[in-house]
Structure 1
Amino acid sequence: MREHEAQARTPRRDARSAATGQARRGDVSGLHYTPDKARRSANLAAFVQKTRAVDSRGAADLQKLFAEGDFIERIGALVAPHGLRIDNVADAYTMWWITAWHAARGENDDPSPATLTAVRAQAAHAITATGEIARASDAQKQELAEALWVQSALIDVAMEQAKRDPSRLRAVGDAVRQGAKGMGLNLDTIDLTSKGFVPVGVGQNDAPATTPKPGSAAPYGALALAAGGIGVGGFLMLRQRRG
């Protein structure tokens, strides 16, 4: 009887394990979305409109920048060698998280492969753990991800152009810091290590789990001036030169 009971329990355990594995795979697949070009045009137009509310000149520069070609696809080509995909919300948050943290400290460093991998895992875990973004529609995921990609690019260019001007570096860092707080993340309370983000003063991989809600990514109006003035080609040259 004991042998029979053990045999009867095994399939149930296997079924539960399989279900758990499928749930985990489902969670991971929830980080992806299918991009839509018409939706992308609408997202970028909305980003310009939000920027116009705080910086009309920056909004005009952004509008010109986006009109030069598919800005998101060009970003995708730059991040692909690092294993990041533009159709993955966690990847978008990873790049924004790292870029914003460096900017808040007056830096514009590229992360090591180990750091990038660690933060990517943290971002994916945080998003799947909260569930709100993972359960969002493709349209909501695309809106959030593309706003984060654009913000990362604006920060990157602004920091590159301000690197020899300490006062401009501080201004950019302050703008990024305030933008992050508007999304619920205090960049001054975390450190970036080879194991990912940890709370300041903590030496273990204890990751902050704050992630933006769908549609919550705010524009950085002041940073639009930096990117808009150089155009897509100039942005690519700056980024590739750094790479």
Structure 2
Amino acid sequence: MMQRILLCAFIWMAAIWPAAGQAQDMFWSTTLPAITGTDTLGLHLRSLREQQDGSRQSAQPAPAPSATAFRYTPSPRRRAANLAQFVAKSRQNDPKGAADLERLFASTDVVEAMRAPLAEAGLRIDDVADAYAVYWINAWQASRGVDDDVSRRMATAVRNQVAGVMASTGALRGASDAAKQEMAESLLIQAALIAAAMEQSKSSPELGRQLAAAVSQGARGMNLDLAAMTLTEDGFVPAN
């Protein structure tokens, strides 16, 4: 039940944002899309559809890519630099929110705190494909305004889709541990912030609409058209 796990693990992230107000509106409408749009890793829906079509036509499933291709050895020094960069990007549009994030990151290792809850869903914090799966699921749910539990089967299916597309497109070919860590940690922080905002939006339909628009815009910057897909127990499929 990954979505609930993330909310339980990162409910303290919601506390750094006021329940309403101009600062929060600015963050979700401008800062989040700006942050996601700077990520170099793109997941192409066309590649996913081609992969799905090919798997339906093939008698034998394609071999799963090696897990080691997506994993890295985390460095505390790199993590500190990654979080500082995240704060710097946030500060361009929301100085107060960025200051709150900076204080939070200084007091808590937010990425390490995700290790145990993600493990319950069969995912890891030191794996780029896993991090993308967490972000993708949270972003899709936020874009649809749904807050359903995510089963281990579903999380694994999405993770395998991500890994397959990354392998087929060569997205991580030759990537260093530093590059993988930067990608993964940015995705995990975004996923946690989305989860926190989804919790807050339960009492504010307007905030929910703003969040959906902001997350959808940010995802488009990563070549993800969330409106064109549907999440199932077997992963994402093209929307009807």
Fold match by TM threshold 0.5:
yes
| Letter matched to residue 167 of structure 2 | T
Q: Give the one of 157, 172, 176 matched to 1:137.
A: 176
Uncovered stretches (5+) of structure 1, i.e. residues with no partner: 1-23, 202-243
Following the alignment from structure 1 to structure 2, what is the Cα–Cα distance between the partners of residues 133 and 55? 31
Q: 1:131 to 1:187 in 2, by over 3 A?
A: same
Cα displacement string for residues 88-142 of structure 1 (whole angstroms, at most 9, x for unaligned residues): 0010001000000000011222212221121111011111111122431111100
| Letter matched to residue 182 of structure 2 | E
Q: Give the one of 131, 134, 145 matched to 1:106.
A: 145
Q: 1:163 to 1:32 in 2, by over 3 A?
A: same
CA RMSD of superposed structures (Å) = 1.4
Partner of 2:230: 191
The alpha-carbon deviation at position 77 of structure 1 amounts to 2.1
Greater length-normalized contact order (CA 8 Å, ≥ 6 residues apart)? 2
The alpha-carbon deviation at position 32 of structure 1 amounts to 0.5
Max radius of gyration: which structure?
1
Q: Does 1:84 align with 2:84?
A: no
Following the alignment from structure 1 to structure 2, what is the Cα–Cα distance between the partners of residues 25 and 186? 25
Q: Sequence identity, in percent?
A: 51
Q: Does 1:58 align with 2:119?
A: no
Q: How does 1:112-127 map to 2 (within 5 A)?
A: 112-127=151-166
**Do the aligned residues in 1 keep the contact of 2:139 with 2:215 (CA within 8 Å)?**
yes
Following the alignment from structure 2 to structure 1, what is the Cα–Cα distance between the partners of residues 151 and 123? 14
Q: Does 1:48 align with 2:87?
A: yes
Uncovered stretches (5+) of structure 2, i.e. residues with no partner: 1-62
Following the alignment from structure 1 to structure 2, what is the Cα–Cα distance between the partners of residues 70 and 113? 25
**Do the aligned residues in 1 keep the contact of 2:121 with 2:151 (CA within 8 Å)?**
no
Cα displacement string for residues 141-197 of structure 1 (whole angstroms, at most 9, x for unaligned residues): 000000000000000001001112111111111111111111111111111111110
TM-score for the superposition, normalised by structure 1:
0.70
Following the alignment from structure 1 to structure 2, what is the Cα–Cα distance between the partners of residues 26 and 116? 17
Q: How does 1:138-157 map to 2 (within 5 A)?
A: 138-157=177-196
Following the alignment from structure 2 to structure 1, what is the Cα–Cα distance between the partners of residues 89 and 148? 28
- Secondary structure of residue in 1 paired with 2:230: strand
**Do the aligned residues in 1 keep the contact of 2:65 with 2:164 (CA within 8 Å)?**
no
Partner of 1:20: none
**Do the aligned residues in 2 keep the contact of 1:27 with 1:134 (CA within 8 Å)?**
no
Q: Does 1:32 align with 2:71?
A: yes
- Secondary structure of residue in 1 paired with 2:111: helix
